[in-house]
Amino acid sequence: MFQNVQQIQDFIRQNGIAFLDFKMIDLRGRWKHLSIPAARFNEDIMTHGIGFDGSNYGYAQVERSDMVFLPDITTAVVDPFVKAPTLTMIGDVMVIDHPANRPFDQYPRNVAKSAIAHMQALGVADEMIIGPEYEFHVFDGMTRTLRPDAVGYRLQCSESVWSAGEFPNNGFHTGPHDGYHADLPGDRTFDLRNQICLELAKWGVDVKYHHHEVGGSGQLEIEVELGEMTRLADATMAAKYVIRNTAAANGMTATLMPKPIYGEAGNGMHVHMLLRKNGQPVFYDPDGYGQLSRTAMHFIGGLLTHARSLCAITNPSTNSYKRLIPGFEAPVTIGYAMANRSAVVRIPAYVKSPDKKRFELRNPDAMCNPYFAYAAILMAGLDGIEHEIDPAGRGWGPFDFNLFDLPADERKRLGHLPASLDEALDALEADHDYLTRDGVPDAAARDARQNAPRRRAGDQPHPAPSGVRPLFRSLTEPYWPRIPSGVRGYACRSPEV
C-alpha cells in the first residue's frame, strides 16, 4: 500500500488520520503496541526508529534494555477497531549500536527470515510457500471464577444444544460433532465470518474460504490462500487480531484455544507447505507417491523425525495436548498418507496442479508464535532434505487407513506425538540442533525472562492455593510454562489465544 514516507503523510492528510500505531511481537507471539500523533511521523522515525524497553518484551536484561522499533510502512492499514482514525503497522526491532543500529536477530520476524536465508544458502529453494488454516470458537460470552477456594468457568453459546432450554431461543441448534458446513439458520455466525473475511482482505490476507467446523458449539474455520512464509507469519498475527476484535465488536468472544470444550473437536492450525525454486515447484513428481518428489518425501522425513520436538514450538500450551487425542481428527501417530486426517502429515488428494502440489502438517495450533513455528517447520524439513531421510524407510507410512482403528498392540509399535507439554519439552531438550544451522539465531540469553518453573503445570492442585497461578486463567490467557533455555533460537513462551 505504501512505499515511502511521503505517501504515508499524504494519506494521513487526505484521510484525517489522527494517530499512527506500531505493533511489535514479543517472545510469546503476542502483538503489543505504542502510538504517536500522526503529525509526528517523519523520515527521522524511519531512520532512527522509536525507543522502547526491550526487557518487558523478553528481549534484553533490564540493565541493558534500550532498543529501537523501526516501522515497516508496507504493512500499514487503517485499524477499524479504534474510535480515532488510526493507521497501524508492524515493523522490526533494532539493537542500539554505533555507528548505526543493527537488526535484533532474536526478533521473531528475523528468526523466520534467517530460516529462509538458510534454505536459500543450501540451494534447495528460493521460497517456502505456506497456507495455514485457522480454526477457532466463537461464544456469546463467558464467566470465570478464580479464587483460592474455587476455580471454574462457564461458556455461553446460543448455537449449542446446551442452550436449547434457555431464552431467548429460536429452536435451531447445532448438535455435538454435527457442525461441519452447517447452514442457516443453525449457522448463527455466518454474518460474523463474512465480516471477518472482508476485514482480513483490507489487511492483505487473502481468504480461500470459510465455513462452520465440526464442533457444534460455535467452532469455525477460515483458510487463507498460499503465500510466502514470512508474509504469512505476518498474516497469521493479523488474522488472530481481526478474528478476536471483530467478535468483540459484535459482543462475542473468539478463542483459538486448542480445546475449549471437552468432548468436541479442537482447534488446530494445519499448515500446508511447498517449496519453489526459480518459480518452479520443488515438491512435484507425477510418478511419486501422491505425485510428490523425492525432495518432498525427504522434507516429510525431516518433519516426522523431529515431530516430537517440534510440538514444543508448534503446540506450546498445556491445553494443546487436550486436543492431540484420538477420535477428533487431530493427529496422534507419527506418519504420513494421502488424504488421511489421522496422520501427522496429510497429502491432499484434491490438489492436482503441479505448482500447488503440497502436503500439510496437522498438529500445530494457533497458540504458537507463528514466526518461530513456521521457521522450525522449515528447519526440520530442510534437515530431512540434507540427510535424505526417507519416511517410508523409517516405517512412517504411507498409512492409507484410519490410524485410530489400529489395535492397541500395533499402535504401540508406532511413534506418537507427545501426550503433554512436559513430554514435548523433554523431546525439544534432546533434539534441537536442527533448529540452529547456518546462523539461525541463538536465543539462550533470553533464559532470564523464561524462568517460570517448568514442572509446575503438572503438579499444581485445583483450586490453586493462594499465591499459585491457576492453570486456566481465562479463554484469552491460559498459563504456559517456559520452553527450555537450551533451545537456541526458539526459547519462548506461547502467545495468547
- HSE-up (13 A, CA, CB side) for residue 352: 1
Alpha carbons 81 and 138: distance in angstroms, whole number: 18
Per-residue model confidence (pLDDT) at position 288: 94
More reliable by pLDDT, 485 or 210 = 210
Of 266, 397, 412, nearest in space to 327 by CA: 266
Alpha carbons 294 and 300: distance in angstroms, whole number: 10
Per DSSP, 440 falls in state P
Catalytic pick from 92, 221, 365, 422? 221
Phi-psi region of 231 (alpha: psi -120 to 50; beta: other; left: phi over 0): alpha
Residue 341 appears among annotated catalytic residues? yes
Residue 199 appears among annotated catalytic residues? no
Per-residue model confidence (pLDDT) at position 239: 97
- Angle formed at CA 53 by CA 367 and CA 203, multiple of 5 degrees: 45
Q: At 263, is the pLDDT very low, low, confident or very high (cuts 50, 70, 90)?
A: confident
Residue 213 appears among annotated catalytic residues? yes
pLDDT at residue 417 tops 90: yes
Catalytic pick from 133, 199, 422, 496? 133
Q: Are 257 and 137 in contact (CB under 8 A)?
A: yes
Poorest-confidence range of 227-241, 283-297, 339-353, 463-477? 463-477
Per-residue model confidence (pLDDT) at position 3: 87
Collapsed DSSP state (helix, strand, coil) of residue 26: coil
pLDDT at residue 150 tops 80: yes
H helix or E strand, kind and range, residue 244 = helix 229-249
Catalytic pick from 21, 79, 92, 135? 135
pLDDT at residue 61 tops 90: no
According to DSSP, the residues that pair with 255 across neighbouring strands are 137
Print burial letters for 330-344: b (CB count within 10 Å at least 16), e (below 16). Answer: bbbbbbbbbebebbb
Residue 135 appears among annotated catalytic residues? yes
Taking each helix axis as running N to C, give the angle between helix 190-202 and helix 229-249, from 0 to 180 degrees, rounded to the nearest 10: 130
Work out whether strand 31-37 and strand 19-25 pair parallel, antiparallel, or are unpaired. antiparallel
pLDDT at residue 384 tops 60: yes
Collapsed DSSP state (helix, strand, coil) of residue 355: helix
Catalytic pick from 341, 394, 411, 437? 341
Q: In the predicted model, what is the mean pLDDT of the chain? A: 86
Collapsed DSSP state (helix, strand, coil) of residue 155: strand
Can you give the pTM of this predicted structure?
0.89
Q: At 270, is the pLDDT very low, low, confident or very high (cuts 50, 70, 90)?
A: very high
Q: At 402, is the pLDDT very low, low, confident or very high (cuts 50, 70, 90)?
A: confident
Work out whether strand 19-25 and strand 86-95 pair parallel, antiparallel, or are unpaired. parallel
Q: At 63, is the pLDDT very low, low, confident or very high (cuts 50, 70, 90)?
A: low
pLDDT at residue 359 tops 60: yes
Would you state the cell numbers that stand for residue 497, as one nine-digit string?
A: 489465544
Average pLDDT over residues 383-390: 97
Work out whether strand 343-347 and strand 253-255 pair parallel, antiparallel, or are unpaired. unpaired
Share of the chain above pLDDT 70, in %: 87
Per-residue model confidence (pLDDT) at position 488: 39
Q: At 190, is the pLDDT very low, low, confident or very high (cuts 50, 70, 90)?
A: very high
Per-residue model confidence (pLDDT) at position 410: 73
Alpha carbons 358 and 335: distance in angstroms, whole number: 16
- HSE-up (13 A, CA, CB side) for residue 177: 6
pLDDT at residue 471 tops 90: no
Per-residue model confidence (pLDDT) at position 439: 62
Q: At 100, is the pLDDT very low, low, confident or very high (cuts 50, 70, 90)?
A: confident
Alpha carbons 378 and 306: distance in angstroms, whole number: 11
Average pLDDT over residues 58-82: 87
Residue 133 appears among annotated catalytic residues? yes
Q: Are 234 and 247 in contact (CB under 8 A)?
A: no
Alpha carbons 213 and 109: distance in angstroms, whole number: 31
Catalytic pick from 53, 66, 410, 477? 53
Q: At 62, is the pLDDT very low, low, confident or very high (cuts 50, 70, 90)?
A: low
The dihedral formed by the CA atoms of 74, 80, 82 and 86, expressed in degrees to the nearest 10 = 30
Alpha carbons 416 and 422: distance in angstroms, whole number: 14
Catalytic pick from 79, 199, 285, 360? 360
Q: At 441, is the pLDDT very low, low, confident or very high (cuts 50, 70, 90)?
A: low
Catalytic pick from 21, 213, 285, 365? 213
Average pLDDT over residues 144-153: 87
Residue 270 appears among annotated catalytic residues? yes
According to DSSP, the residues that pair with 284 across neighbouring strands are 292
Print burial letters for 454-490: b (CB count within 10 Å at least 16), e (below 16). Answer: beebeebeebbeeeeebbbebbeebbbbbbbbebbbb
More reliable by pLDDT, 360 or 160 = 360
Residue 53 appears among annotated catalytic residues? yes
For 166-170, the CB contacts below 8 A with 24+ separation are none
For residue 147, which phi and psi values (nearest 5 degrees)? -135, 165
Average pLDDT over residues 417-440: 89
Average pLDDT over residues 162-171: 79
Per-residue model confidence (pLDDT) at position 494: 39
Average pLDDT over residues 187-210: 95
Per-residue model confidence (pLDDT) at position 122: 95
More reliable by pLDDT, 482 or 173 = 173
Poorest-confidence range of 12-26, 137-151, 406-420? 406-420
Catalytic pick from 30, 118, 212, 270? 270
Average pLDDT over residues 384-400: 92
pLDDT at residue 302 tops 90: yes
Which residues, at least 6 apart from 495, have a Cβ–Cβ distance to it below 8 Å? Answer: 28, 29, 30, 240, 367, 368, 369
Q: Are 6 and 47 in contact (CB under 8 A)?
A: no
More reliable by pLDDT, 468 or 290 = 290
pLDDT at residue 331 tops 70: yes
More reliable by pLDDT, 217 or 438 = 217
- Upstream peptide bond of 185 is cis (omega within 30 degrees of 0): yes
pLDDT at residue 484 tops 70: no
